[in-house]
Amino acid sequence: MDDMMFEVGTALILVAIASVIAGKLKFSIIPFLIVLGMLVGPHAPTIGILDFKFIDSQGVIDFLGQIGILFLLFYLGLEFSVQKLVKSGRNIVTGGTIYVTLNFVLGLAYGFLVQMPLYETLIIAGMLSVSSTAIVAKVLVDLRRTGNAETELILGMILFDDIFLAVFLSVMSGLLLGGTASIGATILSVGISIGYMLLFFVIARKGPPILNKLLRITSNEIFIIVVFSTMIFIAGFSEKLHVAEAIGALLFGLALSETEHSERIEQLVVPFRDFFGAIFFFSFGLSIDPLSLGNAFWLAIGAVILTIIGNLIAGMIAGRKAGLSHKSSLNIGLTIMARGEFTIIVANLGVAGGLSVLIKPFSALYVLVLAILGPLLTKESKRIYRGVNRIFKWSEPVEKGKKKHSGVREVSEVSEDSKIKLDQ
């Protein structure tokens, strides 16, 4: 028992160190923690007396990571409200639909192309369609793009994407976790999933008066105990119904999103989400055998290329439809490309449903590449725009600059570049 605590503590210290390094490099912690997990996982070689394999404590770490998923999705549920989406306007719904449809169809096509069975194909299509809310929001803040014109559209599209994720996970968990082979039983379990989801939508719609009263708890201590316990209970209960536990947490968040307490809960959840979320990425890394990555290498690279193309096209269409400039539209595709937590969650569902062993290393590589490449491409969007512009000859700003005062433009361009260098 003593050893257990020490092992978990050591693991957490490693997580902390990786987070600090990621922070210093101004990078998302997600890829760092996954790689760290792979490096110290049960598959890693022992180096001298240093044995970081965390075999005894793996159960505990996995469990903490699962709690991390619950918090991630609970927060997601709290954040997205249908009202918010309706308020944010038609551009977002159009953009989001284009984005999700294009990527999902590309994913399906890819799955069939590489001759995956149906369920695996669906899971791959799902993985390709869901962007990483955590990485995108972080990149926007870090690169100081929150004031840009395209930012609302990007975040709105992600919100839309998240709703797609909720529906997708519900349906897939019905398909995969029902544990039956007959068509009738499968339809039944999908029906249960969807019905379960609708139930929470109804609660979110009709429930707030009652929930408001129930949650009118002054003490933060009791409030947090009530909310978190209920969340974990609902997650566990959902699993009993063969609905993924993550969905339970998400739906519970959704039910609370329209109450007057939603902001208070959000504030309380964030630290837990961040802490347990970090453990989740780490434990995901732990579960991956680096040697198995080779098998999925080409599969993942193909998916990465497809995602880059799909995102650029979807971003351009969405941006241009919303009346943004070519440059802003390009930014949309580049920013929204990052993949992270939700892709892993989709993959985990596939693994839980007993699908192909390739899913896990595939998701690891796919997420790793795009969690690193996405933010990098976003950062270099200016240079990419200049390159792409040479081919398509869109740009008005450059012509305008030439006409008006090319000297000034030159200077500002140079100073922009040097600023980026200073950042690094």
Question: Binding residue for another protein (CB under 8 A) from 400, 402, 420, 423?
Answer: 400
Identify which of residues 242 and 409 has a Cβ nearer to another protein in the complex.
409
Q: Which is nearer to another protein, 266 or 380 (CB)?
A: 266
Rounded least distance, CB 77 to another protein, Å: 13
Interface with another protein (CB under 8 A), residue from 10, 151, 186, 292: 151
- Contact yes or no for 373/168 (Cβ under 8 A): no
The yes or no reply on residue 383 touching another protein (CB under 8 A) is no
Binding segment for another protein (CB under 8 A), chosen from 6-14, 169-177, 187-195, 320-328, is 320-328
Q: Which positions from 337 to 356 touch another protein by CB under 8 A, shown as an x/- string? A: --------------------
Q: Candidates 325, 384, 386, 389: give the one binding another protein (CB under 8 A).
A: 325
Is the C-alpha dihedral spanning 11, 13, 18, 23 positive or negative?
positive
Q: For the segment 188-217, give every residue that binds another protein (CB under 8 A).
A: none
* Cα gap 78→62, rounded to integer Å: 24
| 27 part of the interface to another protein, by CB under 8 A | no
Nearest distance from residue 277's CB to another protein, in Å? 14
3-class DSSP assignment, residue 288: coil
Instruction: Kindly identify the residues of this chain, within the stretch 103-142, that bind another protein according to CB under 8 A.
Output: 133, 137, 140-141
- Residue 97 C-beta: closest distance to another protein, Å: 17
Name which of residues 28 to 47 contact another protein (CB under 8 A): none
Question: With CB under 8 A as the contact rule, which of the stretches 56-64, 76-84, 205-213, 348-356 interacts with another protein?
Answer: 76-84
Q: Of the two residues 79 and 239, which places its CB atom closer to another protein in the complex?
A: 79
Q: Which is nearer to another protein, 38 or 143 (CB)?
A: 143
Of the candidates 86, 105, 85, 67, the one whose C-alpha atom is nearest the C-alpha of residue 158 is 85
CB 92 within 8 A of CB 159: yes
The CA distances from residue 311 to 168, 330, 337, 375, in Å, are: 19, 9, 6, 13
Of the CA atoms within 13 Å of residue 297, those in its CB half-sphere come to 6
Measured CA distances, 69 to 23, 74, 173, 235 (Å): 22, 8, 15, 11
Q: Contact letters (x/-) for another protein, 256-285, by CB under 8 A? A: ----------x-------------------
Distance CA 57, CA 1 (A): 10
CB nearer another protein, residue 84 or residue 216: 84
Note whether 156 binds another protein by CB under 8 A: yes
Q: Looking at 60, 149, 224, 226, which residue binds another protein (CB under 8 A)?
A: 149
* Number of amino acids touching another protein (CB under 8 A): 29
- The yes or no reply on residue 152 touching another protein (CB under 8 A) is yes
Taking CB under 8 A as the binding criterion, the range among 40-48, 102-110, 246-254, 394-402 that sits at the site for another protein is: 394-402
User: Alpha-carbon distance 95 to 315, whole Å?
Assistant: 8
Nearest CA to 136 among 99, 105, 170, 82? 99
How deeply is 29 buried, as exposed, middle or buried, from its count of CB atoms within 10 A (0-12, 13-18, 19+)?
Answer: buried
Give me the least distance between CB of 301 and another protein, in Å please: 30
Q: Is 213 helix (H, G, I), strand (E, B) or coil?
A: helix
> By CB neighbour count within 10 A (0-12 exposed, 13-18 middle, 19+ buried), where does 152 fall?
middle
The correct pick among 64, 159, 364, 368 for binding another protein (CB under 8 A) is 159
* Binding of residue 404 to another protein (CB under 8 A): yes
Distances, alpha carbon 411 to alpha carbons 109, 145, 258, 418, 424, in Å:
47, 21, 49, 11, 21
Question: Do residues 18 and 38 make contact, with C-beta atoms less than 8 angstroms apart?
Answer: no
State how far the Cα of 324 lies from the Cα of 43, in Å rounded to an integer: 49
- Does 147 bind another protein (CB under 8 A)? Our answer is yes
328 binds another protein (CB under 8 A): yes
Question: Which DSSP symbol is given to 45?
Answer: P
Residue 151 CB, nearest distance to another protein (Å)? 6
Tokens at 219, concatenated: 């003490």
Footprint on this chain of another protein (rule: CB under 8 A) = 79-80, 84, 87-88, 133, 137, 140-141, 144, 146-149, 151-152, 155-156, 158-159, 266, 325, 327-328, 397, 400-401, 404, 412
